[in-house]
């Protein structure tokens, strides 16, 4: 049995990652700001993670935890982000998405078990920003266009530096958009799935979006967490693009979601351009060739199937809100 330490365990990715590790018999320790809320997310699972309250703003607090928990792997999923607001609260983004990673790397570097600990950082395609090529690979220049992307770039660079300078077994997963029924409401896939479901049940009359022709490389969150587990199991750290290699438009997602409930989306979808980010990135499509070849990982679930799964989930959840006849 190995011990895994997961930061940001209460989010979508933390839930799927913890579940996968628990199912294979690992001990999982998760850090969260709200233990009660996190515990509710894991209620009902055959095995439970150990949850610890943690202040991500406390510099150096992770050092004692690494020595106490003695993890074999550390997965950093803690990040501040919203689907629309990559410009929201930049100071908090700089701390949590950037310098907190430095705290973890320093904790590993100064640990007596430095070479025994695998570290996996959840990097982001937002680092590519003003893209220079499509699709993007691990060698594509990083040119972020938001405070979120800039903070992620800083952390990503630190991972590489500590790997080369200090021999830390650190990897960066350059994650492209990845979705599931556990996606928070601020993200467009959730908005689309929930909107289609609730409109079909008569609970809402329309769905407001910022744009329809923005394209992204969308994958399936459980599969992407499997990629992180494979990175932690590799003998050496490295950087990997985790993506499908396929682009889809928001319009495509809308058509699938409303088609799932038998509605003509054009009757219900309204556009409000003020919802678009101040600087919108385009051409975000990843090249997963490296991770496919080196770690035998491949994205297998299409965004159409994911959206249908999300709509079905929202239908079940929203049905209880319907008024009595």
Give domain limits for the chain.
3-178+219-242, 181-216+246-283+301-319
In the block, tokens 């959206």 appear at: 307
Confidence of residue 111 (pLDDT cuts 50, 70, 90): very high
Q: What is the pLDDT of residue 197?
A: 97
Confidence of residue 319 (pLDDT cuts 50, 70, 90): confident
The overall average pLDDT reported for the chain is 93
Of 148, 162, 176, 268, catalytic: 148
Taking the C-alpha atoms of residue 36 and residue 260, their distance in angstroms, rounded to an integer, is 35
Residue 274 has pLDDT above 90, yes or no: no
**Coil, strand or helix at 109:** helix
Taking the C-alpha atoms of residue 81 and residue 66, their distance in angstroms, rounded to an integer, is 25
DSSP state of 265: G
Burial of 136 (0-12, 13-18, 19+ CB in 10 A): buried
Query: Is the separation of the CB atoms in 197 and 181 below 8 Å?
Result: no
Burial of 117 (0-12, 13-18, 19+ CB in 10 A): buried
Tell me the pLDDT tens digit for each residue of 242-266: 999 999 999 999 999 999 999 999 9
Q: What is the mean pLDDT of residues 236-244?
A: 98
Q: Which two tokens stand for residue 230?
A: 């494979």
Q: What is the pLDDT of residue 95?
A: 87
Residue 224 has pLDDT above 60, yes or no: yes
Of 41, 106, 126, 314, catalytic: 126
Query: Is the separation of the CB atoms in 76 and 106 below 8 Å?
Result: no
Q: What is the pLDDT of residue 278?
A: 56
Query: Is the separation of the CB atoms in 125 and 286 below 8 Å?
Result: yes
Q: What is the pLDDT of residue 80?
A: 78
Please name the CATH architecture into which domain 3-178+219-242 falls.
Answer: 3-Layer(aba) Sandwich (3.40)
Candidates 2.40.320.10, 3.90.25.10, 3.30.200.20, 3.40.50.2300; correct CATH number of 181-216+246-283+301-319?
A: 3.90.25.10
162 in catalytic set: no
- How many CB atoms are closer than 10 A to CB 112? 8
Tell me if 3-178+219-242 shares its fold with 181-216+246-283+301-319: no
Tell me the pLDDT tens digit for each residue of 203-220: 999 999 999 999 999 999
**Coil, strand or helix at 54:** coil
Taking the C-alpha atoms of residue 169 and residue 114, their distance in angstroms, rounded to an integer, is 8
Q: What is the pLDDT of residue 275?
A: 65
Q: What is the pLDDT of residue 58?
A: 85
Share of the chain above pLDDT 90, in %: 83
Q: What is the pLDDT of residue 94?
A: 87
Q: What is the pLDDT of residue 324?
A: 36
Phi, psi of 214 (to 5 degrees): -70, 135
Tell me the pLDDT tens digit for each residue of 50-61: 999 999 888 889
Share of the chain above pLDDT 70, in %: 94
Confidence of residue 91 (pLDDT cuts 50, 70, 90): confident
75 in catalytic set: no
Q: What is the pLDDT of residue 44?
A: 86
Q: What is the pLDDT of residue 323?
A: 45
């Amino acid at each position: 049995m190995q011990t895994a330490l997961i930061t940001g365990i209460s989010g979508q990715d933390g839930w799927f990652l913890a579940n996968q590790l628990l199912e294979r018999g690992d001990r999982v320790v998760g850090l969260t700001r709200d233990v009660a809320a996190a515990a509710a997310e894991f209620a009902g699972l055959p095995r439970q993670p150990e949850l610890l309250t943690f202040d991500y703003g406390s510099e150096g607090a992770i050092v004692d935890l690494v020595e106490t928990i003695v993890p074999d792997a550390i997965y950093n999923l803690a990040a501040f982000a919203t689907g629309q607001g990559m410009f929201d609260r930049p100071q908090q983004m700089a701390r949590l998405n950037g310098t907190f990673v430095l705290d973890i790397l320093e904790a590993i570097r100064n640990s007596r078990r430095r070479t025994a600990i695998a570290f996996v950082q959840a990097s982001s395609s937002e680092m590519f920003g003003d893209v220079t090529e499509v699709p993007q690979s691990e060698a594509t220049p990083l040119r972020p266009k938001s405070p979120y992307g800039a903070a992620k770039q800083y952390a990503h660079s630190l991972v590489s530096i500590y790997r080369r300078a200090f021999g830390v077994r650190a990897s960066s997963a350059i994650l492209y958009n990845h979705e599931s029924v556990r996606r928070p409401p601020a993200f467009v896939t959730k908005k689309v799935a929930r909107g289609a479901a609730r409109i079909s049940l008569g609970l809402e009359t329309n769905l407001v979006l910022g744009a329809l022709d923005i394209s992204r490389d969308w994958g399936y969150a459980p599969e992407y967490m499997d990629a992180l587990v494979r990175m932690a199991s590799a003998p050496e750290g490295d950087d990997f693009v985790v993506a499908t290699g396929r682009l889809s438009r928001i319009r495509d997602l809308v058509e699938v979601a409303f088609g799932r409930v038998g509605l003509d989306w054009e009757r219900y979808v309204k556009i409000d351009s003020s919802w678009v980010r101040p600087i919108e990135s385009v051409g975000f499509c990843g090249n997963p060739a490296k991770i496919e070849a080196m770690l035998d990982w491949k994205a297998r679930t299409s965004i159409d199937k994911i959206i249908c799964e999300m709509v079905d989930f929202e239908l079940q959840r929203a049905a209880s809100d319907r008024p009595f006849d």
